[in-house]
Structure 1
Amino acid sequence: MKLINKKTRMIEFDGPHAQFRGISAYTHANNASDFEIIMTPSEQRDIVRTDIENHAGDYQTILGTTADTTQILLYEIVKLCSALNSAQSLDDVRKSAQSINDKLGSIVADVDAGTVKFAYIHKGQDTVINEIKQRSTAVTDVLIQQEK
């Protein structure tokens, strides 16, 4: 991270973000300084991750919530598919969807009302899908290399 004094074009700080003491440490009482902060994408990502940890929970907690979500979805989707597989009428199809709707249906209203937010919506679905593809491919490539 770099802190540049825009008036003097001098670099006031050049080092890890964790060691940065804040702009006030570089502001002089007799000089109305104007600063520019320059961070690498990696530093910006680290700051966002720290903010997430401070506001939403550590990575183990977030991973636990993700695992819980995956398990609920897996179980409910398998139940839905099993019930749909034996459905004989439109009424049977509706009954098949009732369980998952009872458990998760309120999420739609909450998202629409803005009381629940999903990161994938904010980030953009195409961006998230591309990240999924890239990470999945990278992990699989590592596994393939381990087999050799």
Structure 2
Amino acid sequence: MQEQIPSQQDHLATLAYLDKQVKRGQISREVADVESIIGTTADTGHLVLVEFIKLLDGLSKATTLAEMRAAASQGRDSLGTLTTKVLNNEIQFPYQGKGAENVYQEIESRATGVASILTSPE
């Protein structure tokens, strides 16, 4: 049997895959398991959705600039501590470490991939 030598591209892809698996293992051991991270992500989405709904409700009822500012202030006050910590670099979201452009590419690729499967006639 002849030994197969991987191409440089295949070798780099394998190294990238292994690096990703190591990081996932570290996250699972040092931060939280996958299910807990999904739960935190869901909580975040729900929190943002509720705050956005409250903002829209307040803005839709506002008749003056002061009322619009008051509606916006409610959301700012609710999320203020988190915002301050982000601005002071006390906390960092994963997308900040990955880089926004990489995250946008992942969103586009995964969203399109899932949509293709969901809309496939088979």
TM (normalized to structure 1)?
Answer: 0.69
Please give the alpha-carbon distance, in whole angstroms, between the structure 1 residues aligned to 2:33 and 2:74: 32
- How far is the alpha carbon of 1:133 from its aligned partner? 0.9
Corresponding position: 1:81 with 2:41:
no
What residue number does 1:90 align with? 65
Deviation at 1:104, TM superposition (A): 0.6
**Equivalences, count:** 109
The amino acid of 1:121's aligned partner reads Q
| Relative contact order, higher structure (CA 8 A, sep 6+) | 1
* Aligned twin of 1:120: 95
Does residue 107 in structure 1 map to residue 64 in structure 2?
A: no
Q: Over aligned residues, Cα RMSD in angstroms?
A: 1.3
CA drift at 1:90: 1.2
Q: Give the CA deviation at 1:136.
A: 0.5
2:115 alignment counterpart: 140
Higher strand share: 1
**What TM-score results when the alignment is normalised by the length of structure 2?**
0.83
Aligned with 2:39 (options 54, 64, 71): 64
The Cα shift of 1:144 comes to: 1.3
State which structure, 1 or 2, has the greater radius of gyration over its C-alpha atoms: 1
Q: Which amino acid aligns with 2:65?
A: L
Give the superposition deviation at 1:118.
1.0
- CA offsets, 1:80-99, max 9 Å, x none? 01211221111101111122
Read off the aligned partner of 1:85 and give its amino acid letter: S
Quote the Cα distance in structure 2 between the aligned partners of 1:130 and 1:84.
Answer: 33
> Percent identity between the aligned chains?
31
**Greater alpha carbon shift after TM alignment, 93-102 vs 56-65:** 93-102
- 1-side partners of 2:56 and 2:118: how far apart? 31
Structure 1: gaps (5+ residues): 1-38
